[in-house]
Amino acid sequence: MKKYLVQFKPFLIFVSIFFLTYIILTILYKFYLNSYQVNDLDDISIFVGKNIEALLRFFDYNVIVQKSSQNPWLEIILNNLFLARIIEGCNAVSVMILFVSFVAAFSGKFKKTALFILFGIVSIYILNVLRIALLVVLLYKFPENNKLIHDIIFPLIIYGYVFLLWIFWINRFSKYAK
């Protein structure tokens, strides 16, 4: 048994750090979400909605992002047409938690790891805002492709980007890059 523990030590360390980080961050995020009332939307999701609205207005779209009067989501109205809603899951925090957990598990030097995590979180946030704004425009122009756009293309964008960040991290900065 000891032979296998020695042989698989790097893998076991990776898995342990990954799951420990993931569990701790997920629990902290759940505490954050539980601080809101049942029909309230969290501040991160509201901030995402404000950024989407500002971005679409910057590109001259007639857009309103407003809190639903009875539900915990934001409604996105483009040219007086309700197109989408932003729920808590749209804020990409769960994707950020997954990203951070992986980078921590393949950590390198503390400063590089911390800076890469910060860069990753900020870039994932920005990509997510761009992604949702583009989603709204595409839903307006191509409503018949709703399922394809929302369920396939847009998850591929965010998860594909995170995967590329992971590959870059492993090859350039992690302690396993050697």
When pLDDT is cut at 50, 70 and 90, the band that residue 102 belongs to is very high
- 20-53 pLDDT per residue, tens: 999 999 999 999 999 998 778 999 999 999 999 9
Distance CA 78, CA 61 (A): 7
| Cβ-based neighbours of 13, under 8 Å, separated by 6 or more | 105
- DSSP at 42: P
- Rounded to an integer, the average pLDDT of 142-170 is 93
Angle at 92 between CA 48 and CA 58, to 5 degrees: 30
Distance CA 160, CA 175 (A): 23
Q: What is the pLDDT of residue 178?
A: 58
**pLDDT greater than 60 at residue 177:** no
**pLDDT greater than 90 at residue 161:** yes
